[in-house]
Amino acid sequence: DEAGISAATIYRYFPSQQALFNDAFLQDIGAACEEFKTMVETDEPATIEQFGIKFVDHLINNESTFQMMAYLMLRDNLSNPVMGKFDSVTKIFFDLFTRLLTRHGVAKEQARIHSHAFVASITGIIMTFRNSSVRDKASVRNHIIKVVRVTAALYTNQLLGHREQDTARA
């Protein structure tokens, strides 16, 4: 209604409401990846904590994106083209975080698995605390950010600590 487009016109381009939601989600994640790419590719890359907070803020501020992401992750009977698109977008995101970790000195062979673990941790933190009934939205975000900071510190200390140990051994 807001766009002034009839449902019939939309169905000319999208065979179903599900297809429309999938494309909207993929476009949003693609745009977010560009923002994250900037954080990684600058002369002084973002910290693990900054990356995690940016990820949280994007998903909190884009509730429909978070819901679609969770839906696609949990769905087991999506068509191959949809899963192929979803996999390619998530691969770009994991590649970016892997690149961030390697820019901070994490060995490339370790960076990918840590990228998966960190993103899964952040997603789980959001899922656990986002619908807290005892707090307002700002308090919920603040609590999620506190937990993300602790998580980022664990990754930072462990990953960069290994690098320092390897350097000391050499």
| Tens-place pLDDT, residues 62-110 | 888 888 777 777 766 656 666 677 777 778 888 999 999 999 888 888 8
Within a 13 Å sphere around the CA of 33, how many CA atoms are in the beta-carbon half? 17
Tokens 């560009």 sit on residue: 34
What's the confidence (pLDDT) of residue 56?
A: 92
Check pLDDT > 90 for residue 21. no
Structure token digits, residue 149: 């900071």
Asked whether 47 and 100 are in contact (CB, 8 A), the reply is no
Split at pLDDT 50, 70, 90, the class of 51 is: very high
Residue percentage of the chain with pLDDT more than 90: 32
User: What is the DSSP code string of 17-73?
Assistant: HHHHHHHHHHHHHHHHHHHHHHHHHSSSPPPHHHHHHHHHHHHHH-HHHHHHHHHHH
If you average pLDDT over every residue of the chain, what do you get? 83
* Alpha-carbon span 55 to 126, nearest angstrom: 10
Q: What is the pLDDT of residues 22-42, one digit of tens each?
A: 788 778 887 888 889 999 999
Amino acid occupying residue 155: Y
What's the confidence (pLDDT) of residue 107?
A: 87
Angstrom distances, CA of residue 167 to CA of 38, 104, 147, 162:
29, 14, 30, 9
Structure token digits, residue 21: 């939601």
Rama region for 4: left / alpha / beta (φ>0; ψ in -120 to 50; rest): left
What's the confidence (pLDDT) of residue 89?
A: 74
